[in-house]
């Protein structure tokens, strides 16, 4: 079942980061599928863990590239990343206490909205900067 997918409008002009974003959409999609199937806690916790780990890995990669391009708004962007990481940590703890499927619904909806908004509004700002400076990564 495909609930969400990356499309070219989400491109940030860096192939490796576009691939990361595609993977994040895929993980969210898996979460939506588990929810639709009425999954038990264990597989949901596994996917939530995967989502958190991949998100952390991706934010690090993105921040590293922003630093390499001397992106002036890096600190504000980093704070936005940190807030999501904290929120996901809270959700994960909640899911560990049982009835993970209810937490999964929150994570999937909040996560998907966050991802779409963040790419289109915040990531696209470094894309714009990169284009203006004629930088390529
Ligand atoms: Fe970002």
Task: Tell the burial category of 97 from Cβ atoms under 10 Å away from its Cβ (0-12, 13-18, 19+).
Answer: exposed
**Distance (Å) from CA 135 to ligand 1 centroid:** 18
Nearest alpha-carbon partner for 59 in 84, 35, 34: 84
Structure tokens at 8: 């070219």
User: In the chain, pLDDT over 70 holds for what percent of residues?
Assistant: 100
d(CA 39, CA 25): 19
Which pLDDT score, from 0 to 100, does residue 2 have? 85
Cα of 40 from ligand 1 centre, angstroms: 31
Q: What is the mean pLDDT of residues 62-91?
A: 97
CA 12 – ligand 1 centroid, Å = 10
Ligand 1 centroid, distance to 115 Cα (angstroms):
9
pLDDT given for residue 7 in this prediction: 96
The pLDDT tens digits for 115-128 are: 999 999 999 999 99
- What integer pLDDT is reported at residue 1 of this predicted model? 74
- For residue 95, count CB atoms less than 10 angstroms from its CB and return exposed for 0-12, middle for 13-18, buried for 19 or more: buried
CA distance 25 to 15: 15
* Ligand 1 midpoint to CA 98 (Å): 31
Residue partners of 56: CB distance under 8 A and separation at least 6: 85
Q: Where do the domains of the chain lie, and which CATH numbers do they carry?
A: 14-132 (1.20.120.50)
Output the pLDDT for position 63.
98
* Over residues 46-75, mean pLDDT: 98
């Amino acid at each position: 079942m495909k609930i969400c997918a990356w499309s070219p409008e989400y491109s940030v002009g860096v192939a490796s980061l576009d691939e990361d974003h595609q993977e994040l959409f895929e993980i969210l999609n898996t979460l939506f599928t588990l929810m639709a199937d009425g999954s038990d806690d264990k597989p949901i916790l596994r996917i939530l863990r995967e989502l958190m780990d991949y998100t952390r890995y991706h934010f690090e990669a993105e921040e590293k590239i922003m630093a390499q391009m001397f992106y002036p708004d890096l600190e504000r962007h980093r704070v936005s990343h940190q807030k999501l990481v904290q929120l996901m940590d809270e959700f994960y703890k909640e899911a560990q206490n049982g009835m993970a499927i209810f937490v999964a619904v929150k994570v999937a909806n909040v996560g998907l909205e966050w991802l779409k908004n963040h790419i289109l509004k915040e990531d696209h700002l470094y894309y714009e900067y990169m284009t203006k400076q004629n930088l390529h990564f």
